[in-house]
Structure 1
Amino acid sequence: MTRNERLTCKEVIEPQLAALGWALQEQLRIGPGRVNLTGEAMYDETQSIIADYLLRFKGVPLAIVEAKSEAESAADGMQQASRYARRLSLRFSIASNGSDWILTDNDTGEFESRSAPPSPEELVARMGAAVDWSRWEGAFSAGYHMDQVSRKAVRPYQDVAINKALWQFAQGDDRVLLLMATGTGKTFTIFQLVWKLLNGKALKREHVLFLTDRNSLKDQAYRAFSAFSGAERVQIDKDTVAQGQHLVGKVFFANYQSLDEELEGKKVYEHYDPDFFDLVVVDECHRSGFGDWFGVLKHFGGALQLGLTATPRELEEGERALTTEEKRRDTQHYFGDPVFTYTLKQAIEDGYLVPYLLEERITNVDEEGYTGPDGKRYTTANFERDIRMPDRTRAIAEDLWEVLGKYELRDEKTIVFCVDDTHAAFMAQELRRLSGNGDYAARITRAERNSHQLERNFAVVGPSNPRVAVTVDLLTTGFDAPDVKNVVFMRPLRSAILYKQMKGRGTRLCEDINKRYFTIFDYSGASALEDTEFDGHPANRQKAPSGSKPKKKSGDDTLPKPIGEGVSVIISAENRYVCLADGSKIPFEEYAEQSREFILDVSHKGMDELLRIWIDKGSRQELREALRDRDIYPSAFRHYLDLPDADDVDILAKIGFQLPRVPNRADRANRLWDEDQIWLLAHLGEAALPESERFKSRLWQTALDHYRLFGIDDLEQARTYSAPQFYEQFGSFTTLTNRYGGPVLLKTDLELVKQHLYVPMAA
């Protein structure tokens, strides 16, 4: 008798790997899978991304193994093994059925069949690595810190990022760059890296410097390292140095600006010996501060240096050589290419960040331009910079208020990005007027004396005020309000980096409020900066024109600006986009037409065929996988078509067969009970029984009530029949099935009920 997959793993695969010295991490959950836009559950358990094994050597993750049963071909696991390895930026993947082993090098695409698995030493040799294990093995093997309250664990991609950085350092590279999307936990990742380095005794002096360019980021990092005692954490500034308190500690936090200040005839950073720090971490290293305060990094040039960024290289090199100044400011020229990249689209696909929807809403004056009272021609780029447009601000505020009401989003957290402080003040006032609540919207900019308190209030998860933060750029980085569900652009942008940072305010998960997605409302054309490679630039739209941003002249804000008043402003263009996991962004109408073609292809015989596919659990699952492969998501249509209670199959029918009306789940359940009750009672043998004795029909009535709320998949799960509404009426699942006549009969009747549930019908 051949072994199934589980026995093949336990009795054949695992012993061979262990004998070679591999440490096995079984059933590695790479991610929970993409967040459901709608529905009861945030995640679909069947979509979890789980690798059979992660192979480690001396703590270093080196390969993924996909296991098959003895009866299957090892080749059947190659594709999935490679896919999972690439998700984790691992070079090697292995597929095996216990007797055959197929090793794939995912960098070259080459593979080889073998009779035994490779040893750890062989894969390390293939990587051409020379590691001083006497120094670095302790860091690789050291465990991660586990907070006893939050129980927050290191995610698989964070684990790989940490080990990639350690691997480069261990090979003698003293500059390393990590590229991780906003919201994926860069600071937490670095805290865990530093924890391993210090506990693994890999740093000679045990001194780490964490560099930022903003106080909010410095404070955030200081709090993130709270597992270290107060005596081990030091915030560097002039006062700390002047008092001689700057040399005792393990992890030091500072802004570039503070280190660049003068103290006793030299820079603050020059009060440290050049070899004082073992490691310098440069947060948000893509920003211009990196170039401006280059002296700090040069002074500590003998230390390991780790750059962190959420945005890929923005400087377009083309064919010309970079100037000296550009080289200083170019992140990748200084640090080299990222050793690990985790993009926004991958984080969304893995289920660690939420997907987003996009609506472009363009006014007539933005579309056509405006001739001001001074005779000059103004466009979107000039509005609020060169001319005040109060009527436009009011019209956009009123449209935003209306559309937020349409989607029931008025009480959800919203960030609005404006052109300048004055523009932000006008917009906040308009939203307060519309809401009738003086605390509903607040300007949060540096011009506000209490901006830090307003930030803290806005960051509190829950129903706190303000609900809307109107800002310019204060909340672009170093600010975490995970329950933000709307990001509004009223400010034209030329910088893709800035756009990513602003959009990143909405990407974070927030299970406390059941956040499934966020929405971008674009009134300024900022979404033209979407990036298809990193997080989704639309293939059918043109990027914003290139060109250097004009430098702001000193005192510009104090110059009087002409005011365009008495202008009739309307929303002249509304475009909705579906943003997919592969990075593409498709106009809703085009997405619906592409989906319609596929739906008609799989159900070419008509609606009856689509329903037949849906009735069978296996064919339904195959259809769902085929839909996902083509990025067709019923949940996206459910949102855009406002069909919250419709069955997925009816949403597909609406798109495929262009039905004028769609039944919801309650309509289907009611039709079955009203029109097929005679059949059901006869089939169950309860037609002659008084209603109080109709056990089976009561069970199916309860099951249909459950279907109304949760859909058909739940009724196919045995655990559903142990839910309170079943248990209170029918007892345990065992009691229920025994009284019914056995689980086989219950399952058989469920199949018949599904056939009567899924019949063609109009709403």
Structure 2
Amino acid sequence: MDKKTLSERDICTKYITPAIYQAGWDIYTQVREEVTFTNGRVIVQGLQVSRGRPKRADYILYYKPNIPIAVIEAKRNTYGVGDGMQQALSYAEMMDVPFVYSSNGDAFLQHDRTQTSGVLEQEIPLHAFPSPEDLWKSYCAWKNIDDTKVQIVTQDYYTDGSQKTPRYYQLIAINRTIEAITKGQDRILLVMATGTGKTFTAFQIIWRLWKSRMKKRILFLADRNILIDQTKTNDFKPFGSAMTKIQKRQADKSYEIYLSLYQAVTGTEEEKNIYKQFSPDFFDLIVVDECHRGSAAEDSAWHEILEYFSSATHIGLTATPKETKYVSNIHYFGEPVYTYSLKQGIEDGFLAPYKVVRIDLDKDLTGWRPEKQKLDKYGKEIEDRIYNQKDFDRDLVLDQRTQLVAKKVTEYLNATDRFDKTIVFCENIDHAERMRQALVNENGDLVAQNSKYVMRITGDNPEGKAELDNFILPEGRYPVIATTSRLMSTGVDAQTCKLI
């Protein structure tokens, strides 16, 4: 048989896989072939949508399911041994994998990113492919993992037997966080774009630390009830009876996993600071969700809690680290141990690209000044000054502006699809209600068919909040248009939303 005539798959089956197997790798638990690890960028051309090619590695070798350790790129025998190396290196760098190989079935070209062997690249014969123990030993030396840390670092992530496993970037975030903690780092920042699964990543970090018993009592803090409730019923569900939500200002010390709104454990009066019912060393891990919203400010309620439990390890999660004169996530948590950006999420196809449609309103551009002694609709005189975008829907309401925005939103939906899920973010609850009314009037035909076509979904309105799940559910037809202020700005997984 002429090797040059064999396909790439034949080269894998007849030469590369046997070499891996003979080196002691378990084909069923440590070796995966043709692994697709991105979704492929979403490409929008007019009204046509397609996906780019996802990234796919020929082989990924795992020391344990949570530790990818090597990438192999195969080529037909008509190519050189190292012709797949550059492609393999780009994959390895994305996945944070240290050992990289290229092969055409004659030999392997090895690239050792750890440089523990002293040689960066060298060709090795097929029969000399390294064993799992050889690569793990070099990996541990590279990461400074000694025998005391191995049990924690190799603790498996949670799986329920389904196909849901951490994506490649989530695995990096989980592993880097756990490695940092084993090295004694006690303030950790993870930056991951909105929609990339921060809560699922946090769950896997907590699960592995909890299961390895490195961290026994854990507090997960957020600033919205909806975030806590979603977390408890979805991602954190496997904790079962070990988990509780702190509410009604009751501190029950019989659990191991605690979920809480920071508002539920703090207050202006001392007796409302129920976190002080726990001893300062009660928790050994605190995870702060959306930590950009004040947790790093010296005077915030978050910081008060973190200061009290200062002996615990603190992990901050955010999509947008805040760096201002008064608030600094990096000052408190340190530089991020890992960042997965919006740009990378779009490039990988895990997030949708977006198109900005700019509509300039005359009053937004030039401002508005009332005539002298002009009265508002309630008969009060309007202060004579120039009003601009900073004032609109805060200090001054221009009803015609609200109606025009509603008209423009409706025109866009008429030109695309009137049943595309739409979120209109407003300045406050009052603005959201006025916008709801304006959109109802613009879409009277569909509202007449179903009054839930337009809904205000804000924290103060139980009818609107009750419709949030229906808005999010792909199979939920109504509501179609949601007006909101803050409630839906964070942690609401509205995958069906087409227009913002």
Query: What is the TM-score when the length of structure 2 is the normalising length?
Result: 0.82
Q: Deviations over 1:534-578 (max 9, x none)?
A: xxxxxxxxxxxxxxxxxxxxxxxxxxxxxxxxxxxxxxxxxxxxx
**Structure 1 equivalent of residue 375 of structure 2:** none
Q: Deviations over 1:92-146 (max 9, x none)?
A: 5333335141416499xx952332666414642663x222444543552425322
Which structure has the highest helix share of the two?
Answer: 1
**Structure 2 equivalent of residue 26 of structure 1:** 33
Check conservation: 2:455, 2:464, Cα contact below 8 A: no
**Structure 1 equivalent of residue 482 of structure 2:** 469
Q: Which moved more, 1:430-439 or 1:294-303?
A: 294-303
**Structure 2 equivalent of residue 367 of structure 1:** 365
**Structure 2 equivalent of residue 308 of structure 1:** 317
**Structure 1 equivalent of residue 168 of structure 2:** 156
**SS state of the match for residue 75, structure 1?**
coil
Unmatched segments (≥5 aa) in structure 2 = 373-383
Aligned counterparts of 1:114 and 1:462: Cα–Cα separation in 2: 55
Unmatched segments (≥5 aa) in structure 1 = 317-321, 488-763
Matches within 5 A, 1:448-527: 448=461, 450-487=463-500
Corresponding position: 1:8 with 2:11: yes
- CA distance 1:416–1:114, shift in 2 (3 Å): same
**Structure 1 equivalent of residue 437 of structure 2:** 429
Corresponding position: 1:180 with 2:178: no
**Structure 1 equivalent of residue 376 of structure 2:** none
Matches within 5 A, 1:403-414: 403-408=412-417, 410-414=418-422
Corresponding position: 1:203 with 2:214: yes
- CA distance 1:339–1:92, shift in 2 (3 Å): farther
Matches within 5 A, 1:131-280: 131-137=145-151, 140-146=154-160, 151-199=163-211, 201-203=212-214, 206-225=216-235, 227-228=237-238, 230-241=240-251, 246-261=252-267, 267-280=273-286
**SS state of the match for residue 159, structure 1?**
helix
CA shift at 1:225, angstroms?
4.2
- CA distance 1:138–1:218, shift in 2 (3 Å): same
Aligned counterparts of 2:429 and 2:47: Cα–Cα separation in 1: 41
Check conservation: 1:279, 1:304, Cα contact below 8 A: yes
**Structure 2 equivalent of residue 401 of structure 1:** 410
CA shift at 1:342, angstroms?
1.6
- CA distance 1:170–1:70, shift in 2 (3 Å): farther
- CA distance 1:113–1:478, shift in 2 (3 Å): same
CA shift at 1:39, angstroms?
11
CA shift at 1:66, angstroms?
1.7
Higher CA-based Rg: 1
Corresponding position: 1:55 with 2:61: yes
**SS state of the match for residue 439, structure 1?**
helix
Structure 1 stretches of 4+ moved >6 Å: 38-42
Q: Deviations over 1:667-715 (max 9, x none)?
A: xxxxxxxxxxxxxxxxxxxxxxxxxxxxxxxxxxxxxxxxxxxxxxxxx
CA shift at 1:18, angstroms?
5.3
- CA distance 1:464–1:6, shift in 2 (3 Å): closer
- CA distance 1:289–1:303, shift in 2 (3 Å): closer
**Structure 2 equivalent of residue 420 of structure 1:** 428
Check conservation: 1:140, 1:166, Cα contact below 8 A: no
Code of the residue aligned with 2:109 in structure 1: it is W
**SS state of the match for residue 470, structure 1?**
strand
**Structure 2 equivalent of residue 516 of structure 1:** none
CA shift at 1:359, angstroms?
0.6
Matches within 5 A, 1:687-726: none
- CA distance 1:230–1:296, shift in 2 (3 Å): same
Code of the residue aligned with 1:348 in structure 2: it is I
Code of the residue aligned with 1:376 in structure 2: it is R
Aligned counterparts of 2:474 and 2:73: Cα–Cα separation in 1: 40
**Structure 1 equivalent of residue 457 of structure 2:** 444
Q: Which moved more, 1:75-84 or 1:31-40?
A: 31-40
- CA distance 1:417–1:225, shift in 2 (3 Å): closer
**Structure 1 equivalent of residue 84 of structure 2:** 77
Code of the residue aligned with 1:441 in structure 2: it is V
Q: Deviations over 1:592-651 (max 9, x none)?
A: xxxxxxxxxxxxxxxxxxxxxxxxxxxxxxxxxxxxxxxxxxxxxxxxxxxxxxxxxxxx
**Structure 1 equivalent of residue 394 of structure 2:** 385
Code of the residue aligned with 2:86 in structure 1: it is Q
- CA distance 1:147–1:399, shift in 2 (3 Å): same
Aligned counterparts of 1:90 and 1:156: Cα–Cα separation in 2: 10
**Structure 2 equivalent of residue 64 of structure 1:** 71
CA shift at 1:34, angstroms?
1.8
Aligned counterparts of 1:21 and 1:308: Cα–Cα separation in 2: 39
Check conservation: 2:153, 2:175, Cα contact below 8 A: no
Check conservation: 2:458, 2:487, Cα contact below 8 A: yes
Matches within 5 A, 1:278-317: 278-291=284-297, 292=300, 293-311=302-320, 313-315=321-323
Aligned counterparts of 1:174 and 1:82: Cα–Cα separation in 2: 32
Check conservation: 2:296, 2:332, Cα contact below 8 A: no
Aligned counterparts of 1:280 and 1:21: Cα–Cα separation in 2: 40
Aligned counterparts of 2:353 and 2:8: Cα–Cα separation in 1: 34
Code of the residue aligned with 2:214 in structure 1: it is L
Check conservation: 2:218, 2:285, Cα contact below 8 A: yes
CA shift at 1:287, angstroms?
1.3
Check conservation: 2:98, 2:139, Cα contact below 8 A: no
CA shift at 1:299, angstroms?
2.6
Aligned counterparts of 1:278 and 1:15: Cα–Cα separation in 2: 46
Code of the residue aligned with 2:80 in structure 1: it is S
Q: Percent identity at matched positions? A: 35
**SS state of the match for residue 176, structure 2?**
helix
- CA distance 1:420–1:123, shift in 2 (3 Å): same
Aligned counterparts of 2:462 and 2:7: Cα–Cα separation in 1: 68
Q: Deviations over 1:199-255 (max 9, x none)?
A: 3x2425x222111122111112111245436421111235432xxxx2222311112
Corresponding position: 1:112 with 2:127: no
Q: Once superposed, what is the RMSD of the aligned Cα atoms?
A: 3.1
Check conservation: 1:238, 1:263, Cα contact below 8 A: no
